Structure 1
Amino acid sequence: MNIHEHLIKKCKSLIPPLSQNLHKGQNGRIGIIGGCEEYTGAPYYAAISALRTGADLVYVFCYKSAAPVIKSFSPELIVLPYLDSPNAVEKIKPWLKKLHSLVVGPGLGNDPIAHESVRQIFQHVSGDADMNDIHLPIIVDAESLNLVEPESFKNYNGHIYLTPNVVEFSKLSKRLIGHELYKPTQDNVKAIINKLNGKYVIVLKGEKDIIADDKGAVVNGQQGSARRCGGQGDILAGSMGTFAYWATKVENYDYVNNLSPEVLASYAASSLTKHSNKVTFELKQRHMITTDIIKHIPTAFQDLFK
């Protein structure tokens, strides 16, 4: 058994068993913050991927103009057009306590009003005592990575997952530690984590995903696809929202190679995204698009975690 097979076997321990006794929501209520007038596909991809991974309910907090479009993509999604409201944070706050994880950034765009709403949400979860009791995992993706500062989550007890690509990683490093790190290496990822206050997991996306927290690191070099259509990062973010919640429910965790449940959850989401890409590319080749990948998430999940 190679290391990947060993880790995938370990990932299975994160997945909650299905039961006739479960009620709606127990396997995950995931929030997605993003979706502007120009970018309606990204929050949909993240939201539907969270559902296809195994979450029960997904809430999309988006711009008012984006809501009818996102609603039209799927009746499975609960779409709340609050993000560009003058009192967006006050409208979103009550929902945060109902959620099990939060994915911030897909399709957020560059509107200053929405960016300020996200900053205020970060401040709220970090400064509100009730939120610290919840320990909500937060996946920070896409444009929202530009809003993370060294002190953003200093007082927060939940885990923060950052999901940069190589370009985003260099910008993130300059802002968080004062100089740019260009090379996608474990040492560079760990250098950022060691400078941060809080429980951070970094997933540096690329041909090989580098995943690390303050306890350990792992590289996922499994084959994905040669086709780089837009939206694949949104699939990763959405599936990570589900796995991140499941990681909070694990009891009596047996560490392997110093890898925490949070790093393992990230590895599971990374593997699911890569394998979904691989399965789809084998069928569609260069004609593959992200909606094709989403259709194959269930097959990829069964291949990996059956």
Structure 2
Amino acid sequence: MLAKILQAVTVKSFIPARKALSRKGDNGKILVLGGNYLYHGAPILSSLAALRTGADLVYTCVPKINVMATRSFSPNLIVVPLVDVKLTRGSVQKLLGIIPKELDSATMGMGLGIQDREALKILVSSLLDRAVMISLDASCLVPEIIPIIKDKKVTVTPHAGEFRRLFGELPPDSIKPRTALVEKHAKENGITILLKGPTDVISDGKQTYLNPKNLAAMTVGGTGDVLSGVVASMLCKNKDPVKAASAAAFVNGKAGYLAQKKYGLHIVATDLLDFIPSAMKPFDKVK
């Protein structure tokens, strides 16, 4: 199939206008699930990115050992304790009883420790039953999850190594075969894949978009966590995963470009948070 290079005019068509008379919650209610003893910052980055992209409410679920650090980082976060250090069946059941029933989207996996992969399957299945749009990243990208998400309009956001763990094939560096591989697995599994890299490849097996960034500074840790939050927010606006993921990749890359323009090769992931509003501004519409 013909892959299209993402342009601002295309991305603008992927982001619906915000309703002038909307109320709190109308522009997105999101669950972010991640973090462990070592990677406490990952879900914070995702949550703040989702808010900066325009979501109204973000419920940040982290292990209880990370709750105080997460709450103290920003008063904008609604922090939900995960009762166990890692994802277990017990913690999933308690989480499902706490979170709002009417979530729009969920992004999970960034820095998350998973003790029981059956727990992950139960959580994803339960959220899908509630019609929640789901994006999976990092530790949630395991082969066992594929039968659960097959043909379910789920988005996965791997880098090359996570892609190999999930699908058993390492994406080549050359863009043409790399794109073909993403299209193949997206079509076979009925999901949207956002393969991160110097050029992001986004495909649902029917449509494919390329997002050339080539930003050397964006190799810094945490930029993928920011992207996960942007994806979750876009999924609240556009229920078509390939369009939402493409818009998210473009906005995240634009924020990275603006950060690199200011700081050179010395950016950190929180710099992207600061530039998301500028990256989103050309797409702001109110009706």
The aligned counterpart of 1:284 is 263
Matched position secondary structure for 2:219: coil
Are residues 1:166 and 2:153 paired? no
Q: Aligned ranges for residues 1-306 of structure 1 at < 5 Å?
A: 4=5, 7-82=7-82, 84=84, 87-94=90-97, 95=99, 97-109=101-113, 111-112=114-115, 115-125=117-127, 131=129, 134-146=130-142, 148-154=144-150, 157=152, 159-174=153-168, 180-183=169-172, 185-196=178-189, 199-248=190-239, 261-303=240-282
Residues 153, 30 of structure 1: CA spacing in aligned structure 2 closer, same or farther, 3 A cutoff?
A: same
Distance 2:135 2:143 in 1: 13
Q: If the length of structure 1 is used for normalisation, what is the TM-score?
A: 0.82
Distance 2:256 2:76 in 1: 23
Q: Is the 8 A contact 1:223 1:275 kept in 2?
A: no
Q: Is the 8 A contact 1:103 1:241 kept in 2?
A: yes
Q: Is the 8 A contact 1:272 1:304 kept in 2?
A: no
Distance 1:190 1:108 in 2: 27
The number of residue pairs the alignment matches comes to: 274
- Give unpaired runs (5+ residues) of structure 2: none
Q: Is the 8 A contact 1:103 1:141 kept in 2?
A: yes
Q: Percent identity between the aligned chains?
A: 31
Q: Is the 8 A contact 1:225 1:274 kept in 2?
A: no
Deviations 1:162-187 (A, max 9, x none): 1110111122112xxxxx24325121
Matched position secondary structure for 1:182: coil
Q: Is the 8 A contact 2:47 2:229 kept in 1?
A: yes
Deviations 1:84-113 (A, max 9, x none): 27732222224262210000111203x515
Aligned AA (1:50): A
Matched position secondary structure for 2:112: coil
Aligned AA (2:26): Q
Q: Is the 8 A contact 1:47 1:58 kept in 2?
A: yes
Residues 135, 74 of structure 1: CA spacing in aligned structure 2 closer, same or farther, 3 A cutoff?
A: same
Residues 16, 149 of structure 1: CA spacing in aligned structure 2 closer, same or farther, 3 A cutoff?
A: closer
Deviations 1:130-160 (A, max 9, x none): x2xx432110001110264331224x74x21
Distance 1:35 1:222 in 2: 27
Aligned AA (1:40): H
Q: Is the 8 A contact 2:42 2:222 kept in 1?
A: yes
Q: Is the 8 A contact 2:27 2:54 kept in 1?
A: yes
Deviations 1:200-249 (A, max 9, x none): 1000100001110032112111443434211000111100001112112x
Runs of 4+ with >4 A deviation: 303-306
Distance 1:151 1:106 in 2: 21
- Give unpaired runs (5+ residues) of structure 1: 175-179, 249-260
The alignment yields a C-alpha RMSD, in angstroms, of 2.3
Q: Which has the higher contact order (CA 8 A, sep 6+)?
A: 2
Distance 1:305 1:283 in 2: 23
Q: If the length of structure 2 is used for normalisation, what is the TM-score?
A: 0.87
